[in-house]
Structures are given as structure tokens and as C-alpha cells.
């Protein structure tokens, strides 16, 4: 009976001691477990099993299950960013760019529902973790840049109405993705292609905000 680690021919390391790259191997198996069993079915011991190490090995690299999930969530943010960047690749027109980014966001939720859920979970994640915060900020900036381009002000930071438009956009694509995954949109018979149409409203609003004072018109009731 073969006991060797035959994951992807990990390398010339028959001994499990000093694996060499156990952290990365654990993250890889953790992504598999997450995709297969979901966030609820995720267990540390299963990750260790797939990495070919003992059940207590992950503790040394990630502390506890929260540490491993937090590292996974940070990777999830990076996957989300990659999905948005891939969707907008080669598109010059700012409006088309924003539409593509929205589609990329929803596509990420559709293709990696478990990672989407984990990434935006507010339990079991260490929100003080620098890597997680950095990844979340980078995802935020991807959207912010797109809005700035639509508004025609690529350099200045967003304020006032344009900041509200950014929050509007993010809430829209995020809520749409979440409702889609939770099956609630079945009530409406709405498919995921609709996100492009929904973004039209926000795009029109960004144009209005940009043309009418932009940075100052924030005295409506905030």
C-alpha cells in the first residue's frame, strides 16, 4: 500500500518532516476542501489529510482554523481582483470598463461561490490581519478606479456624490451576486446577465455627479 504523497509530485521529499513548502501545500488543499465541501464542511484535519501531513501540522503555520481561513480569504480577494481585471482587459472606454468589471464581480461569485462567501464572511476571519485588509483594500481600489475613469477624474480622490456612487455600485454588484447565490432572485426570474443592465442606472448617476460640481454637492442630507 502506497503511503507516499502523490499530490502533484511534490518533489524529492519522502519524509514528512520539514516538508519544505507546507504552508503553500496546505493552502492548496484548503482551497480544494473549500470548493468541495463549502465553508461549513471545511475542516482543518481534512486539509492536513490532503496535504499528507498530520492533523496538527496546520497549527504551526496558521495558528488555528481562523488563521487558515483568513489566509484563504485574502487569496479570495486576489481571485476577485483577478476576475475583475480579466473581465476589463483590453477595454478602453470607461463605461464599458465599468460594465465589464461588474460582470467580472458577478462571475467570480458564480464560479467560486464558496470563496465568495468566505471572503465576505464576518465570522471566523481575523479582520485585523494585514494581508486580508490589504487584499480587501485592493479590491476596493479596482472599483474606485473604474468609477473615477467614468467620472472623468482619474487622479482626484472620490468625495461627496461620487463616493456615494461608488458605494452604490459596490453594493449593487455585491448584493446582486449574493442574492443570486442564495437563490432569492428566483422570485424574479432574473438571470445573471441582468447585471449589465442594472449598472446603467449607476453609470448615468456617476455622469450626473461628475458634471454637477462633483466634489462639493454632498450637502443633500449626509
Partner DNA sequence: TCCTGCATCTTGACATTGGCAAGAAAGGAG
Partner DNA sequence: CTCCTTTCTTGCCAATGTCAAGATGCAGGA
Residue nearer to a copy of itself on the CB measure, 31 or 52: 31
CA distances from 194 to 60, 85, 158, 175, 206 (A): 46, 20, 27, 13, 19
CA distances from 153 to 23, 138, 148, 150, 205 (A): 42, 19, 5, 8, 15
CA distances from 45 to 2, 62, 210 (A): 20, 13, 53
In the shown chain, the binding pattern of residues 66 to 105 toward DNA, with x for contact by CB under 7 A and - for none, equals: x---------------------------------------
In the shown chain, the binding pattern of residues 146 to 165 toward a copy of itself, with x for contact by CB under 8 A and - for none, equals: -----------------xxx
Residue nearer to DNA on the CB measure, 60 or 216: 60
Residue nearer to DNA on the CB measure, 16 or 91: 16
46 binds DNA per the rule CB under 7 A: yes
Residue nearer to DNA on the CB measure, 33 or 146: 33
Stretch that binds DNA, among 13-21, 79-87, 107-115, 131-139 (CB under 7 A): 13-21
Query: What's the closest the beta carbon of residue 37 comes to DNA, in angstroms?
Result: 9
198: nearest Cα among 112, 98, 111, 79? 98
Alpha helices (runs of H) in the chain, residue ranges in sequence order: 22-37, 44-51, 57-62, 65-88, 94-111, 113-119, 130-151, 160-181, 194-211
126 binds DNA per the rule CB under 7 A: no
- Out of 168, 207, 215, 217, the only residue in the binding site for a copy of itself (CB under 8 A) is 168
In the shown chain, the binding pattern of residues 101 to 140 toward a copy of itself, with x for contact by CB under 8 A and - for none, equals: ------------x---x--xxxxx--x--------xx--x
Alpha-carbon span 9 to 12, nearest angstrom:
8
8 A C-beta contact, residue 195 and residue 176: yes
Residue nearer to DNA on the CB measure, 44 or 180: 44
Binding site for a copy of itself (CB under 8 A): 38-40, 113, 117, 120-124, 127, 136-137, 140, 163-168, 170-179, 181-185, 187-188, 190, 193-194, 196-198, 200-202, 205, 220-222
Amino acid at each position: 500500500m502506497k503511503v507516499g504523497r502523490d499530490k502533484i509530485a511534490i518533489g524529492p521529499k519522502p519524509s514528512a518532516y520539514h516538508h519544505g513548502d507546507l504552508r503553500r501545500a496546505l493552502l492548496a488543499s484548503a482551497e480544494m476542501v473549500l470548493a468541495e465541501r463549502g465553508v461549513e464542511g471545511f475542516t482543518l484535519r481534512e486539509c492536513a489529510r490532503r496535504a499528507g501531513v498530520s492533523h496538527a501540522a496546520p497549527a504551526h503555520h496558521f495558528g488555528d482554523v481562523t488563521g487558515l481561513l483568513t489566509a484563504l480569504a485574502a487569496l479570495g480577494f486576489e481571485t476577485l481582483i483577478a476576475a475583475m481585471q480579466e473581465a476589463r482587459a483590453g477595454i478602453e472606454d470607461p463605461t464599458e470598463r465599468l460594465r465589464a468589471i461588474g460582470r467580472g464581480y458577478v462571475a467570480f461569485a458564480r464560479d467560486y461561490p464558496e470563496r465568495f462567501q468566505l471572503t465576505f464572511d464576518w465570522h471566523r476571519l481575523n479582520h485585523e490581519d494585514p494581508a486580508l485588509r490589504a487584499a480587501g483594500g485592493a479590491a476596493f481600489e479596482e472599483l474606485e478606479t473604474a468609477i473615477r475613469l467614468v467620472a472623468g477624474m482619474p487622479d482626484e480622490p472620490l468625495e461627496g456624490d461620487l463616493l456615494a456612487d461608488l458605494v452604490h455600485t459596490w453594493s449593487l454588484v455585491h448584493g446582486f451576486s449574493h442574492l443570486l447565490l442564495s437563490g432569492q432572485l428566483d422570485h424574479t426570474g432574473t438571470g445573471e446577465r441582468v447585471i449589465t443592465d442594472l449598472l446603467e442606472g449607476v453609470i448615468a448617476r456617476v455622469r450626473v455627479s461628475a458634471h454637477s460640481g462633483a466634489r462639493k454637492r454632498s450637502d443633500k442630507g449626509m
